[in-house]
A = this chain, B = another copy of it.
């Protein structure tokens, strides 16, 4: 029977080949340092095919790391609203994600990041370039402070996910989300917009 569509089916291994090359490139060179052109070359395909399959570099990155959610869809909710309660909104969004089916993928990603240096690098790049950079670019803080603020927020939120979903320490494991929002929201707010310590004087 004649094939009725004119579209090339492509090699079923091509998609996986591109994802493999992307994982290598993002882990070795970081999100900013990896180019679609270099990924395509490593996968021995045309860059246009990478765009055809995956869209933008952001989308390719999310696919390569099996990201449990797309921050570009969710973060606008956090960023809308007043600056003084962004910490609470970020914690509320974070808890909602982990309590949803995306949380299962999150647990798998976190486990993998802890036993596999490449997954750890991809998770770092994900947190930095896809989540924290987007949040912090919208706050009116000194850009030089963004990395420290971002990694402090990550330390609290990843610790919360660990205790609630992996270690399952009570009562955090089964506390009502709003209890945690009330307690942890101000922490995240302070890390985002509060004063940072002045650097200690050189010894």
Contacts and interface: CB of A to CB of B under 8 A. Distances in A.
Given A115-B111, A168-B124, A187-B190, A154 B163 contact: yes
A75 B170 CA distance: 22
A167 B123 contact: yes
B148 A158 contact: no
Given A148-B172, A156-B155, A190-B186, A166 B197 contact: no
B115 A115 contact: yes
| Interface residues of chain A: helix, strand, loop or mixed (majority) | helix
B176 A151 contact: no
Contacts of A160: 155, 159
Interface residues of A, number: 47
Interface in A137-168: 147-148, 151-152, 154-160, 162-164, 166-168
Nearest to A183: B152
Contact of A158 (B167, B170, B187): B167
Most chain B CB within 10 A, of A114, A152, A186, is at: A152
Contacts of A155: 156, 159-160, 162-164, 169, 172, 184
Contacts of A190: 186-187
**Number of copies of chain A assembled together:** 2
B114 A110 contact: yes
Contacts of A147: 170-171
A183 B197 CA distance: 7
A171 B151 CA distance: 7
A172 B186 contact: no
A166 B154 CA distance: 13
11 contacts: A114-B114, A120-B167, A123-B167, A148-B183, A151-B169, A155-B160, A155-B162, A155-B164, A159-B162, A176-B200, A187-B187
